Structure 1
Amino acid sequence: MIKARGAARRGETDAARALYREALDRFPRNSRARAALHALEAANANPPPEQLDAMIAAYHAGAMDEAVRHGARLTEQFPQSFTVHNLQGAALLALGVLPAAEAAFRRAIAADPDAAACYNNLAITLRRQNRTLEAESIYRTVIDRHPDYADAHYNLGNLLDLAGRAKEAEVAFAATVKIDPSYVEAHYNLGNLRAKRGARGAAVDAYRKAVTLKPDHANAYNNMGGELLLLDRIDEALDAYDHALAAEPENTQAIANRGKVLVLKGALPDAIAAFRHAFAIDPDDRSALLQALFEEAHICDWRHRDQFALTDGPSAAAVQPFATLPFLDDPEHQYRRSLACAAVKFGAGPEGPAQTLPDPEPAADGRTRIGYFSADFHDHATMYLMSGLFREHDRARFDIRLYSYGPPREEDASRAELRRHVDAFTEIGHLTDAQVRDLARDDGLDIAVDLKGYTRGTRSTMFGLRLAPVQVSHMGYPGTIGHPCIDYFVADAVALPPGGEAWFSEKIVRLAGCYQANDDRRVIVPDHRSRADWGLPERDGGRGFVFCCFNHTYKIGPAEFAIWMRLLGEVEGSVLWLLRSNEWAEANLRREAAARGIDPARLVFTKGIPHGEHLGRLAHADLFLDTFNVNAHTTASDALWAGLPVLTLTGRQFAARVATSLVHAVGLPEMAVADAATYETTALALAGDPQRLASLRGRLAENRETAPLFRTRDYTRRLETAYVEMQRRRLAGLTPDHFAVD
């Protein structure tokens, strides 16, 4: 105010006007500043204050039509008045009358070419008319003239973000908060952009600044929780979601996200309650319903499975399609869900819709450079299978690199063994997706292999940035990614028979034998304990038969469980040996058994133990009973390697055909049956025919040394042949295509 009055006394009218407007922009109710501005503009053909005040009062009261009527009358009397034209434009903008608002702002700028806020309003009007390039030009003009005008930087950032120009938008928001550290929404938007590019720690910092300035900013707390969750800072994430819900109790995103944290903390009933609460508030939130059903599958609560039909729709698109696998054996359905998920998760990518295809120079040593990407390079089921592949890779022909992005963990024996057999082991968990892309390209990868797909802990979206000219999905996810960034999917003719290509966005590479890697050096630790030590009945003539299934509980559905209970009813003294997953699944399965007339004590639950010991204890089982919609994968290989026959039902989707591929590849094709009735009669027949079962065991023991499933070196050569063909096609300028390796 003092500076403005001084400028007015010196006759510096434009400077005084600008200072008064700046004061009113910040303090619109400052009557002294408004009166002084009115007095200054009176000499510049402006309306008398009492006439202008009526228009201003209508505007501030939200009576935009009335403000526009006042403005129309005043512009006729005072056609050179900046104030009238600017206020008229603001009222028309609020009413959505965009061409007229644009014209008013342009008249205001003609009256005062140095009015920064008016330029800003004009740019907003142009943007709402989808004239983004013109709007951008206006914002940049304002910033050039008034580099410390925070609103112009902020609005430019929003425009650039909507245009998919994330890097430039981030620069604009960073400039905003540098000018005005109290600009809450700029901190929030900056956090969102950092999160999109995977700069999780920096995103959390931006969100923290936003919630410090505005403690009831529910969305900032919610988004901060998501980044903390990805950083494996689970308790901090839960606290963030609690703050979000304290600010906005019916924020369904925060409710559902809190449910995800509760899943990780093992509080499954509370997690289910959270998901169902979100769905109750917003019945269109099919995502929350699907998550509830998936966790109910983990605790074997099947009472609401008929609701799965309600989970389809746009709001469920962002849920990884892995969650839908247990409910339906339908490859077309899985394909459609994967496409929808990919459209949300990959989007246009943080760098824009088009990614350049890397073109690495040939390696000086002539080797093909292959990078495997996973969060599971440790004591994990996938590594039990794949460790042999890494050991047997022909390092004279292939440069093998592992890129690990799992949460920080101590070195275990599996991890140390992996390091011995590869050219490089690189931790990338702390890097953004763009940084991983740059690293992979600097390493000159020819082929990048995704070992996760749509499974927990995935960062498969980094493949959307093109880590290598050829990208492959293998082992991690039993289905399509649904995005063109993955060129090939490794399968076999049993798990994915001819015609199955229709349900994959990738080109299919079919390996002879089986697609699944295996390690023929897995150690089986002999179990010297008795059956009784495991709570199992001793073998007593025809009694004491042990059916088993060590699959995750989410794979067990009511259809197979009903068969299993009928088998217990038919086979006297038999038991069903299951893996102890969680207390609620155990209670629910016992309840389901009792409801079917089976003593719940005949369900024997066992704890998880080190892998080699687990393989040894399988000797106590007589027959492995597979699940249907999602088969045993690693668990089936475990059983076969340990000498335990596996009975499976051949389904339709890839996840429901894996065990069929395994038993074919180990030389026991009759153990894959075509329907549930045959599954039941076969299991019953084997339980009552010790000689037939012993014959199966004998064949399995013999075939283990010769059948394709466990010949790790042969498998590795077939996969390497596939890599060579992929590389040959690329170098020849050919697009990816289906092919088979004999």
Structure 2
Amino acid sequence: MCEWAELADAAPRMRAALAAGGADRMSPFLFLSIPGVNAQEHRRLSEDWIRARRATSMDGRVAFAFDLGSREKIRIGYLSNDFHDHATSLLLIETFEAHDRARFEAHAFCFGADDGSAMRGRLRDAFHAFHDVAALSDAEAAQAIHDAGIDILIDLKGYTKGARTGILLLHPAPVQVNYLGYAGTLGGDLCDYLITDAHMTPGSAAADYSESFAYMPHSYQPRGRKGAIGAKPTRAEAGLPEQGFVFCCFNQAYKITPAVFDLWRRLLDEFPGSVLWLLRAEQAEGNLRGEALRRGVSPDRLIFAPDMNQVDHLGRLQLADLVLDTSPYGAHTTASDALWAGVPIVTFAGETFPSRVAGSLLHAVGMPELIAADAEEYLAIASVLASEPERLAALKTRLRQARLTAPLFDVGAYTRALEALFETMWSRRRGGLPAAAIWASVIKSF
């Protein structure tokens, strides 16, 4: 990991494979973090990937018939293998719990292992029914979804690790939705809608996605207010020096590119004594220290933080002075964690979905000034905040106050808006209308 010798050739190799018709062996997920791959190419990769797997999934396919009649509750089903102590569930748990049970019957279809965690138990309690389909084939799982009478099936995996898109290919529900778990389009006719927002996918981006856009009024990503923040440790306890500015990025190491690392090197050069606080990754640490040394930066200015439970992780995050985003695959849950812990994040938005998530969150927390137009502005914003302690302190005060007021943390309003989108999807399907761009209005929590 972070072995960059061949990274520059990755996008050209991908384009050659697309031209030769051999891109169906290239996982779309792997290319989300490759510099130079544009949104249209991400769609082509997804289209080729799913087209190559369609024939196998269609073997023995049942042509499902659907009951589109009027009903008291819309039955929604969430499909994932991450119903445990995982980033996706940490983001979604309060939304699951906030669903209006008078209007919606929420089901979980889980094909992942039970980790025995408190989160697993909490998830079970959040749903009308929790279906374990791990031992079922794709066809059997699809049949179980259909037998449960699911009206809207919401996929939380896309092409990430352990995904079972073969279930979606069988279309066991009349409406299928791509939501949260995958940072891009799934291609083909796999899903009818993509849950998004105006920053993530402006209308001009529609041709780069196979799904119709279902727009949330603020960020597409949820974040509740119940997540406990642990006690703030001392810098020594966290392995940080007693003095010096702490630049932080807890994104996974595969998201770090040479161009981003060069920007970080410039900040470390500008602020002597500062450190770069990264998430521990055994396969990447040696390479990153070597890259620092090659750029004239002492390797001991890179501090690697170990994995820990979510509460303590949020506690230690408070030691960071400023979080720096990566590109083209930026922070998702890690950006949300930073903002909840009261630490600003600087990002620059590209044209692709994974590069725009932190910007979406910053809009929803009322800090769009931290979204740079390009790499140089990103560097300039970070430099100003690192050199003006009063300005940085004011931002942190705003973030602390935003916990009670910002749309990003208003899970009640978020869930009502999400449900409004589901109602519109269902209404259109019942009325024989095709999927199309839809919008949820701004809703106040109650």
Residues 358, 466 of structure 1: 8 Å contact kept:
no
Change (3 A) 1:585 1:348: closer
Tell me the residue number matched to 1:325. 32
Q: How far off its partner does 1:685 sit?
A: 1.2
Corresponding residue number in structure 2 for 1:491: 196
Determine if the alignment matches structure 1 residue 437 to structure 2 residue 137.
no
Give how far 1:410 is off.
Answer: 3.4
Following superposition, the deviation at residue 357 of structure 1 comes to: 5.0
Instruction: State the AA in 1 paired with 2:261.
Output: F
Residues 348, 498 of structure 1: alpha-carbon distance in 2 compared, 3 angstrom cutoff: same
Q: Which amino acid aligns with 1:693?
A: L
**Whole-Å separation in 1 of the counterparts to 2:253 and 2:62:** 40
Q: Spell out the pairing of 1:385-396 with structure 2 (5 A cutoff).
A: 385-396=91-102
1:731 deviates by 1.1
What is the Cα deviation at residue 700 of structure 1? 1.3
The whole-number CA distance in structure 1 between the counterparts of 2:431 and 2:64 is 15
Q: Is 1:339 aligned to 2:41, yes or no? A: no
Contact 1:666–1:707 (Cα < 8 Å) also in 2: yes
Cross-structure match for 1:403: 109
Aligned counterparts, 1:473-552, within 5 A: 473-527=178-232, 529-539=233-243, 544-552=244-252
- Once the two structures are TM-superposed, the CA of residue 350 in structure 1 deviates from its matched residue by 2.9
8 Å contact from structure 1 (residues 318, 345) kept in 2 = no
Q: How does 1:328-727 map to 2 (within 5 A)?
A: 328=35, 329-347=37-55, 349-351=57-59, 356-360=63-67, 362=69, 366-406=72-112, 408-527=113-232, 529-539=233-243, 544-582=244-282, 584-727=283-426
Instruction: Report the residue type matching 1:393 in the other structure.
Output: H
Counterpart of 1:585, as a letter, is A
Could you say what secondary structure the match of 2:114 adopts? coil
Q: CA deviation at 1:448?
A: 0.4
CA contact (8 A) 2:84 2:115 kept: no
SS of aligned partner of 2:55: coil
Aligned with 1:400: secondary structure? strand
In the aligned structure 1, how far is the partner of 2:68 from the partner of 2:206? 32
Counterpart of 2:437, as a letter, is: H
**Residues 327 and 361 (structure 1 numbering): CA distance in 2 closer, same or farther, change over 3 Å?**
closer
The CA distance in 1 between the partners of 2:26 and 2:311, in whole Å, is 34
Task: Determine if contact 2:79/2:110 at 8 Å carries over to the other structure.
Answer: yes
Residues 50-89 of structure 1 mapped to structure 2, 5 A cutoff = none
Name the aligned partner's letter for residue 440 of structure 1: I
* CA-to-aligned-CA distance 1:652-700 (integer Å, 9 cap, x gap): 1011111110111100000000011111111111111000101111111
- Length, aligned pairs only: 435
Kept in 2: contact 1:729–1:736 (CA 8 A): yes
Equivalent residue letter for 2:223: N
Aligned partners of 1:417, 1:349: CA distance in 2, in Å? Answer: 33
Residues in 2 aligned to 1:581 and 1:721: alpha-carbon distance in whole angstroms: 41
**Structure ID, larger Rg:** 1
CA 673–324 in structure 1, closer or farther in 2 if over 3 Å, else same? same
What SS does structure 2 have at the residue aligned with 1:647? strand
Matches within 5 A, 1:254-269: none
| Cα distance between partner residues in 1 of 2:104 and 2:316 | 38
Q: Which amino acid aligns with 1:415?
A: R
CA distance in 2, matches of 1:574, 1:486: 46
Return the TM-score normalized by structure 1: 0.57
**3-state SS, counterpart of residue 8 of structure 2:** helix
- What is the alpha-carbon distance in structure 1 between the residues aligned to residue 73 and residue 419 of structure 2? 12
Matched to 1:619, the amino acid is Q
**Does structure 2 retain, via aligned residues, the 8 Å contact 1:384–1:519?**
no
Structure 2 CA distance, aligned partners of 1:362 and 1:333?
Answer: 40
Q: Partners of 2:50 and 2:361 in 1: how far apart? A: 29
| Cα deviation digits, residues 627-674 of structure 1 (max 9, x gap) | 010010000000000000000011110111111101111000000000
Give the aligned partner of residue 739 of structure 1: 438
Q: 1:316 to 1:332 in 2, by over 3 A?
A: same
Tell me the amino acid that sits aligned with residue 50 of structure 2.
A
Whether contact under 8 Å (2:69, 2:430) holds in the other structure is: no
Secondary structure at the counterpart of residue 123 of structure 2: helix
Give the Cα separation in 2 of the matches to 1:686 and 1:719: 35
Deviation for aligned residue 1:537: 1.8
CA distance in 2, matches of 1:395, 1:508: 25
**Equivalent pair of 1:531/1:538 in contact (CA under 8 Å):** yes
Equivalent position amino acid for 1:378 in 2: H
SS at match of 2:203: coil
**TM-score, normalization by structure 2:** 0.95
Matched, 1:301 2:3: yes
Q: What one-letter code is carried by the residue in structure 2 that aligns with 1:337? A: L
Structure 2 residue matching 1:537: 3-state secondary structure: coil
Q: 1:604 to 1:311 in 2, by over 3 A?
A: same
Contact persistence 1:650–1:660 (CA under 8 A): yes
Q: Deviations over 1:592-630 (max 9, x none)?
A: 111111110000001000011100101110000000100
2-side partners of 1:451 and 1:358: how far apart? Answer: 24
Task: Give the percent of matched residue pairs that are identical in Structure 1 and Structure 2.
Answer: 43
* Post-superposition CA distance 1:19-61 (Å, at most 9, x none): xxxxxxxxxxxxxxxxxxxxxxxxxxxxxxxxxxxxxxxxxxx
Q: Show the counterpart of 2:444.
A: none
Higher deviation after alignment, 509-518 or 309-318: 309-318
Report the AA paired with residue 591 of structure 1.
Answer: G
- Say whether the 8 Å CA contact 1:355–1:466 is kept in structure 2: no
Deviations 1:95-114 (A, max 9, x none): xxxxxxxxxxxxxxxxxxxx
| CA deviation string 1:398-435 (max 9, x = no partner) | 000001001x3332111100111110011101011111
Q: Give the deviation of 1:356 after TM superposition.
A: 3.2
The AA in structure 2 aligned to 1:614 is H
Question: Does the CA-based 8 Å contact 1:649-1:675 persist in structure 2?
Answer: yes
Cα shift readout 1:155-207 (whole Å, capped 9, x = no counterpart) = xxxxxxxxxxxxxxxxxxxxxxxxxxxxxxxxxxxxxxxxxxxxxxxxxxxxx
Please give the alpha-carbon distance, in whole angstroms, between the structure 1 residues aligned to 2:366 and 2:55. 44
Q: Which amino acid aligns with 1:457?
A: G
> Residues of 1 paired with 2:333 and 2:353: CA distance?
14
- Partner SS state of residue 317, structure 1: helix
Whole-angstrom distance in 2 between the partners of 1:368 and 1:460: 23
The answer to whether the 8 Å contact 2:64/2:146 transfers is no
Higher helix share: 1
Structure 1 residue runs of 4 or more that deviate by more than 6 Å after TM superposition: none
CA RMSD of aligned residues (A): 1.4
Tell me, in whole angstroms, the C-alpha distance in 2 between the residues paired with 1:706 and 1:545: 29
Kindly state the Cα deviation for residue 351 of structure 1 after the two structures are TM-superposed.
Answer: 3.5
Q: CA deviation at 1:532?
A: 1.3
Q: Residue type of the partner of 2:53?
A: K
Letter in 1 for 2:106: I
Once the two structures are TM-superposed, the CA of residue 363 in structure 1 deviates from its matched residue by: 7.6
Q: What CA distance in whole angstroms lies between the structure 2 residues aligned with 1:339 and 1:538?
A: 51
Distance in 2 (CA, whole Å) between partners of 1:359 and 1:394 is 24
Q: Which amino acid aligns with 2:420?
A: T
- Does the residue aligned with 2:360 lie in a helix, a strand or coil? helix
**Equivalent-residue separation in structure 1 for 2:205 and 2:63 (angstroms):** 30
Q: Deviations over 1:330-355 (max 9, x none)?
A: 10111111111111122363336x86
In the TM superposition, residue 361 of structure 1 has moved relative to its aligned partner by: 5.9
- 3-state SS of the aligned residue for 1:532? coil
> Shift in Å at residue 485 of structure 1?
2.8
Q: Distance in 2 between matches of 1:372 and 1:460?
A: 13
C-alpha displacement of 1:311 = 3.1
